[in-house]
Amino acid sequence: MPIIIDEKTRAIVQGITGAQGSFHAKLMLEYGTKIVAGTSPGKGGTQVYGIPVYDTVEEAQEKHSANASIIFVPAPFAADAALEALENGIKNVVIITEHIPIRDAVNVMAYVEKVGATIIGPNTPGIITPGKSKLGIMPAHIFKSGSVGMVSRSGTLTYEIAASLTRKNLGQSTCLGLGGDPITGLNFIDALKMFEKDTETKAIVLIGEIGGNLEELTAEYVIREKYPKPVVAFVAGRSAPPGKRMGHAGAIIMGKAGTAETKIEKFRNAGVEVAEKPSDVAELLAKLVI
């Protein structure tokens, strides 16, 4: 069984009537994801590609009992949407929305901690279990079912590397974007734990970037737990000058902490192979999984 989502996942789309929400609801449906309902306050009673739309998650849940949600709600209202999903019993929530204020994200995560749920994102491309289910905005055709687990802080870079894996016939069990914001739900270590239990996953690709210390902590975790499956990493931002924010709040380096160099060094010390450029990931992986 892959991680978090599979063919049995029943999902709602929050913010389904917006341009992105409706566009991707259609793509997800076409991919085979069970999208059972959508929500959009003020648009209750309408339909989007045949999906019933409700004003509240409460009503959607009364009628459809979903177990996952994907959020396309604009940033100022996205934290509210996430809390709405969680309070109405949905345990897996993917937040696509970017530009959510940090304070809002912190509040959501504190609530998650209390109720026990899984948040992917915010500012994530989502999650895909190729051939089974997709809760995200990734272009589906670049993925292929297989045994490589992928977890990444960067959206488009995930596509880049997933596509190169697929070209080399290295299919994926589940691909998961953590999200590029300073505060996100799942982290690398959570994902490694899930992939460890998943019998379909034989090796893991981990895509990091400058800023923060999640990669460093993950490297320590790999050493401490003698992580049993092979891991290949790529870290974006080697050429980034310190102190400059690169594109989103996640990618900023302060002084020495969080540079690509320290992250790469820590990974290598932990026995994690680190690729020089995106296309090298597939080559390193091919050697490991044969």
Judge whether 141 counts as a catalytic residue. Answer: no
Return d(Cα 7, Cα 27) in angstroms, integer. 16
Per CB under 8 A, the list member of 116, 226, 277, 290 interacting with other proteins is: 277
Per CB under 8 A, the list member of 11, 95, 163, 205 interacting with other proteins is: 163
Return d(Cα 192, Cα 227) in angstroms, integer. 8
Residue 200's closest CA among 269, 247, 165, 149? 149
Interface with other proteins, residue 100, by CB under 8 A: yes
For the bound state, the minimum distance from the C-beta of residue 290 to other proteins, rounded and expressed in Å, comes to 24
Interface with other proteins, residue 80, by CB under 8 A: yes
Q: Which listed residue (64, 99, 141, 248) is catalytic?
A: 248
Tell me the per-residue interface mask from 221 to 250 with other proteins, x by CB under 8 A, - otherwise.
-------------x-xxxxxx-xxxxxxxx
Interface with other proteins, residue 77, by CB under 8 A: yes
Return d(Cα 196, Cα 191) in angstroms, integer. 8
Question: What's the one-letter identity of residue 106?
Answer: V
CA–CA distances in Å: residue 107 to residues 101, 110, 184, 226: 10, 5, 11, 33
CA dihedral 272, 274, 278, 280 (to 10 degrees): -100
Host H or E run for residue 13:
strand 10-14
Range 167-206, binding other proteins (CB under 8 A): 180, 182-185, 187
Please identify which residue in the block is written with the tokens 């310190």.
242
For the bound state, the minimum distance from the C-beta of residue 171 to other proteins, rounded and expressed in Å, comes to 19
Per CB under 8 A, the list member of 5, 12, 24, 204 interacting with other proteins is: 24
Based on CB atoms, which residue is closest to other proteins, 45 or 199?
45
For the bound state, the minimum distance from the C-beta of residue 106 to other proteins, rounded and expressed in Å, comes to 5
Interface with other proteins, residue 1, by CB under 8 A: no
Interface with other proteins, residue 7, by CB under 8 A: no
Question: What is the 8-class DSSP label of residue 253?
Answer: -
Interface with other proteins, residue 153, by CB under 8 A: yes
Interface with other proteins, residue 56, by CB under 8 A: yes
Residue 151: strand pairing partners: 176, 206
Q: Give catalytic residue positions.
A: 248
